[in-house]
Amino acid sequence: MKELAEKEGIDPQDEGAVRSFDKKRPGRKTSNQEWKNPHDPQAKVGRTKDGACDMIYKPEHVTDLESGAIVQAEVLEGDHADTRALSERVACAVEVVNRIVANQEDAVVRSLAADKGYFAVEEIAQIQEFDIRTVIGDAHCARRRKQGLAAPLRKALDRAARAVKSQSGKALLRQRGMHLERSCEHVLDEGGMRRATLRGEENLTKRHKIAAACFNLSLLLPTLLGVGTQKQWIASTRRLLQAVIACLYGQALRFRNSLARTRNIILPNLFRIPTTA
């Protein structure tokens, strides 16, 4: 970039001038129609988590806000909009939940919470037709109210706005930030899925589902065994070993006391020589 700026007569040592030149120079924007990865054609140009531009994929989680378990995990293309086919993905997640809790009559999906990037009036209206309450903020609420929307879309927009402002909606958004961000942190950052080495959307989705299953297993193990991590297992083993040592020490003390009583009472009476008058 400094070389390009120098050719245009800009001082390459002036970082501010170089950044300003970079923002206005022609051909700066990168298009997926022009750029292709020959080794991974499904990878698309997009922004990474740290703000860099790269060939990326977009992972997505659907999480149960009561337990924190990942209900559905998939990897989408890097240029896949969050709002595109949102209702279809929600319907798939609802089907998974219904299959899991088939024996529980009162266990149904009642609400959907997401960030503002998932808000689209048409998709929101379609999700509400499933009798699912949408708790999704609208980043363009003021501008959208000035638009001439049809009556069904206007009704869906009003219902979504009331849900976000309600106390229960705010509580769901807090739970979304707690459970969803935690699962993303565990799977993507701590689990190493932020930079997977596989190619293709199908292969990455399979790998991502395995990582999500491992995360759900980490939630299940504390319920079944009382431990969920290696450190917890080591700590519980140490406590168990201390309990066994304390038990053996108590048994040794009781044995020593009984042996002393035998030596002091029973043995003298056993070998006592009777005296004659």
In the chain, the largest separation of any two C-alpha atoms, in whole Å, equals: 134
Residues 129 and 81 in one domain: yes
Please state, in angstroms and rounded to a whole number, the distance separating the CA atoms of residues 82 and 167: 26
Residues 146 and 56 in one domain: yes
pLDDT over 80 at 45, yes or no: yes
Residues 101 and 220 in one domain: yes
Q: Which residues are bridge partners to 135 per DSSP?
A: 113
pLDDT the model gives residue 208: 92
Render pLDDT for 238-250 as a digit per residue (tens, 0 to 9).
777 777 788 888 8
Q: Which residues, in sequence order, are CB contacts of 263 under 8 Å at separation 6+? A: none
Please state, in angstroms and rounded to a whole number, the distance separating the CA atoms of residues 131 and 191: 35
Please state, in angstroms and rounded to a whole number, the distance separating the CA atoms of residues 56 and 248: 59
Residues 241 and 165 in one domain: no
Residues 131 and 86 in one domain: yes
At 205, is the pLDDT very low, low, confident or very high (cuts 50, 70, 90)?
Answer: very high
Contact call for residues 72 and 100 (beta carbons, < 8 A): no
Residue 35 lies in a domain: no
Q: Which of 36, 4, 48 is nearest to 23 (CA)?
A: 4
Residue 125 lies in a domain: yes
pLDDT over 80 at 106, yes or no: no
Q: Which residues are bridge partners to 57 per DSSP?
A: 77
pLDDT the model gives residue 204: 92
Residue 277 lies in a domain: no
Instruction: Report pTM.
Output: 0.68
Q: Which of 104, 189, 82, 173 is nearest to 135 (CA)?
A: 173
Range of the domain at 51: 40-225
pLDDT over 70 at 24, yes or no: yes
The domain total for the chain is: 3
Q: CA separation (Å) from 174 to 62, 107, 136, 180, 264?
A: 15, 21, 12, 10, 71
Q: Give the three-state DSSP class for 55.
A: strand
Task: Give the amino acid at 232.
Answer: Q
